[in-house]
Amino acid sequence: MARFKYDPTQFRQRQLFPSSVFDLLPKDHACFVFDEILEQLDVSSAEEGYSFIGQRAYPPKRLL
């Protein structure tokens, strides 16, 4: 027998999807390690070459 919405708490859920995809990942996932490493990089010299004229550029850390 299928248990689709059998539990009343599931029936009264407020969200269909999590507010962030990172809520679905375990705390020791590799993406969190990469994020910590990238946040420690000094990219100020690369950001100095960016111009404020025109479209917004991607942040150098996110391009990595």
Confirm whether 4 is domain-assigned: no
24 contacts: CB under 8 Å, gap ≥ 6: 18
**Is there a domain that residue 37 lies in?**
yes
Q: Which two tokens stand for residue 56?
A: 């917004």
Query: What predicted TM-score, i.e. pTM, was given to this entire model?
Result: 0.50
- Supply 49's token pair: 């070459």
| 33 and 46 Cβ atoms separated by less than 8 Å | no
In a domain, 57, yes or no: yes
Cα-based distances in Å from 13 to 17, 24, 46: 10, 17, 46
Confidence tier at 30 by pLDDT (50, 70, 90)? very high
pLDDT tens string 4-16: 556 555 666 666 7
Domain that includes residue 39, residue range:
25-62
How many domains are there within the chain? Answer: 1
Assess if residue 53 is contained within a domain.
Answer: yes
